[in-house]
Structure 1
Amino acid sequence: MTRSFKELTTEQFESFAQTHPAGSYLQTAAQSRLLARRGWQTSLVGLVEENQVVAAAVLAWIPVRMGNMFQIDGGMLIDFSDQDLVAAFVDGVMAFAKEHRGLFLRIMPNAIYRRFDDEGQQIGNTESTVIDALTRIGFEHTPATKGWTTNSSPSWQYVKPLQPILDAQDTTKALRASFGKDGKYYLKKTDQFGIKVRRLEKADLPDFKALTQDTANRLNYHDKDLDFYQTVFDEYGDDAYFVFAEMNFPAYIKGQQQARDHLAEVVANLDARIAEKPNYKKLKRQRAEYADQHKQHEKRITQAKMAHEQAGKDVVTIAGALFLATANEMIYLYSGTYDEYKNFYGPYAVQEYAFEQALKRQIPHYNFYGISGVFDGSDGVLGFKQGFSGHAEEKVGSFVRPINGPKYAIYHFLKKILARG
């Protein structure tokens, strides 16, 4: 059997990566191009047996002190249960990296260590195949950590399988039915409010950046720059979904007025019936309930008119997000919400739109991406995602192996000294 490690063409890599069960947006030719435009050097590499690709990865590297750091984020795409295959692939990467001043190799596999329900209870067995395969050939393992990171793919994520919905006769009904109580409730509200979701053009990206920056400022985190979003748009093409949820004030106010007027008629009819049967408690309870709903619509109308006047335009953006599609999954990456419009529940409409696009493309997996890994109720992001009914996953963590041992020892020592300082 002839086995060789080599750089792959885009066509070779994509035909393999798009059908691999561990494939993600991080292991695509588009991601390789995006990294290259962001200052990294990249190569599509793989193991080939009898003219067939049997393992592959987007390999990226960037200068650090004393050499280059090599990285495989979200990969490699390989059968980790085949120890000989893993060793052969890593040997190929190491040899390639040595030729390019490699200092160390870091791998963050797209592999799940444990799964959890919404209460934080483990589901199924622990999966240690990847950890065993890499530590056996000299990698130092760092387990997944709880909390948030913007430096690499998250250690914890929230996901939802879509195959049961794809198998249903009516996918639209099955999708809504699959959501949790909160998801159903708030999506019903967005229906009532007339919230519309629009896919953006490249010319809309400065507005998208304004939304995400506003959210980042409010929540105190670092947002991606406009050039990043434009690069994603260019490199991912039809697989990148930049979307806005929008509110049409005149249409919303009209709908609220119609609902208010209908409730006024209902209350008037109940008043007439109560006059005839003043001791009928059930009618009085119904009257109080409908009267309260009437007040709520009056309140929304007043608030919307004020917001309309402040906005100075009929249609406003209330929320938005970026999603990326692959053959395996639809992934939710970046988003924003204008705080003054949070009561219109735009993020729920945005999520349902992305689910619908995934179903149209027959994508079997939906990835809400990062969560903190804390299940005590303090993670509001997790709480939002739980409204759509999925489960949490803890990844296997990261793995580091020196390429130039002596230099890496010095580099590691200097990092520790600088960290103490």
Structure 2
Amino acid sequence: MKFGEISESEYNEFEKNHPLGIFLQTVNQYHVLNERNWDAKLVALRNDNNQIIAAAVLGSRKLHIGRLYEVTGGPVMNYNDQAVVKTFADEMAKFCRQHGGLILRWIPNLHQAKFDDHGNVLETMNQAAKNNLELAEFQYNEPQKVENGHYSKVALSYEFIKRLNGLNAATLEKSYSKDAQYSVKKAKEFGVTIRKIPYAELEEFHKYTTATAERRGFKDKPLDYYQKSFKAFKDDDKFLFAELDLKQYVILQENEVKTLADRRQQLVEKSEQHLSKHRAAQARELEDQIQHHKKRIVRANKLITRFGQKPVLAGSMFSVQPQEITYLFSFMNDEFRDFFGPYLIQDYMMKLAVERHIPQYNFYGVAGDFSGQDGVLRFKQSFIGNTYEVLGTYTRVVKPITYRFVRLLKRIIGH
């Protein structure tokens, strides 16, 4: 087996067709890393027939002493093949050592457990992969706890995934929970629309994601991350806004008021001056509905005064891969919560996945809190899927003597 750097075209062909391919291990992400002051390389392992059998976007950045080398979401390979894992690890460690590396970190795109909505383990998996990583001299790093909405700085510990196999455009919505079906239906009735935004609107997108991050107590990505991702991933990234034309919404509500008022009037006229108890109840119900729609009109006009005719209700960023669509970042403007914009965005992207025969939809990070208090998890669960615990982060020290010296120095100076 032979290790070395490879071309973008070779790498892209391998990653796009491998079952463990992920946006974090794409040529596009390689460009994003280099644009954001990482030093990224495309490396691979070939068999004796010169076929690529393992590959990785290997990024590095400076530490106080030496460099950290990291493969986030990879490497892309068969982790059950002990010889491949060991050889790729040894050769990559050698490469890192030759280029000033101190630590090599792998964060594989694998899961170790599958859970139901109540936190019960349904299945354990990839135990052979864990063993092979340890045999390749990697040490498992315990994940940092999630506190106040902050995920581990290194990697997520849990993610929520919906399998799309066997679903089509006609059956997809029926696969959601009743709550999600209702929310999608209401968003459509209200006239909510989904729009893919251009590069010029990323500043507005970032303004909203930053506000959401501050409200929920976590740190947003900087604007340049979104801008560089947009340029590098092109159509493989989707930035979407859910919007509502409030003037059209008012017209819809006014039409409903007129329709209901006509029905109520017909009911009264048919009763010839005398309403039975049943018809009286019907008339009261129609009047309640009329008042409900009138309240919506009043509220909508106030929202127009504050936010303009066509406000942004919510927005999200997605990555589209042959293996999966990944839901990455999002925001919701609280004033428009009851227009259900986030539900329609998810429905829009899942329909795209089904249309393109993409087998799974990754809602990405959740905290692993099954107490019922995690609103983010409840939202994702409403589309029906499972929570998975990721395999985790594995670290191999490539310069042990220097590493021990650095640790000793940190203890001495108290850092």
TM-score, normalised relative to structure 2: 0.94
- How far the C-alpha of 1:150 sits from its partner, in A, is 6.2
CA distance in 2, matches of 1:299, 1:348: 24
- How far the C-alpha of 1:254 sits from its partner, in A, is 0.6
1:73-84 alignment to 2 at 5 Å?
73-84=72-83
The aligned residue for residue 292 of structure 1 is: 288
Is 2:222 the partner of 1:220? no
The aligned residue for residue 169 of structure 2 is: 172
| Match 2:260 to one of 241, 260, 263 | 263
1:3-402 alignment to 2 at 5 Å?
3-49=1-47, 50-144=49-143, 147=146, 148-149=150-151, 151-165=153-167, 171-272=168-269, 278=275, 280-281=277-278, 283-311=279-307, 313-402=308-397
CA distance in 1, matches of 2:33, 2:152: 15
Moved more, 268-277 or 348-357: 268-277
The aligned residue for residue 168 of structure 1 is: none
- How far the C-alpha of 1:295 sits from its partner, in A, is 2.3
CA distance in 2, matches of 1:98, 1:59: 13
Q: Give the letter for the 1:309 counterpart.
A: T
Structure 1: which 5+ residue stretches go unaligned?
166-170
CA distance in 1, matches of 2:285, 2:251: 22
SS in 1 for 2:388: strand
Q: Deviation per CA, 1:272-298: give whole Å up to 9, x if none.
A: 5667775544x4544444333322211
CA distance in 2, matches of 1:268, 1:399: 72
C-alpha spacing 1:152/1:258, structure 2 compared with 1 (3 Å): farther
SS in 1 for 2:31: helix
CA distance in 2, matches of 1:243, 1:80: 35
CA distance in 2, matches of 1:108, 1:182: 35
Q: Deviation per CA, 1:361-406: give whole Å up to 9, x if none.
A: 2211100000000110121111111111111110011111110001
- How far the C-alpha of 1:414 sits from its partner, in A, is 4.8
C-alpha spacing 1:299/1:48, structure 2 compared with 1 (3 Å): same
Moved more, 18-27 or 129-138: 129-138
SS in 2 for 1:149: coil
Q: Give the letter for the 2:140 counterpart.
A: H
Moved more, 401-410 or 262-271: 262-271
Q: Give the letter for the 2:203 counterpart.
A: P
Contact 2:144 2:152 in 1 (8 A): no
C-alpha spacing 1:224/1:125, structure 2 compared with 1 (3 Å): closer
CA distance in 1, matches of 2:199, 2:371: 40
Structure 2: which 5+ residue stretches go unaligned?
none
SS in 2 for 1:44: strand
- How far the C-alpha of 1:164 sits from its partner, in A, is 1.5
- How far the C-alpha of 1:261 sits from its partner, in A, is 2.0
RMSD: 1.9
- How far the C-alpha of 1:355 sits from its partner, in A, is 1.3
TM-score, normalised relative to structure 1: 0.92
CA distance in 2, matches of 1:417, 1:357: 56
Q: Give the letter for the 1:10 counterpart.
A: E
Residue identity over aligned pairs, in percent, reads 33
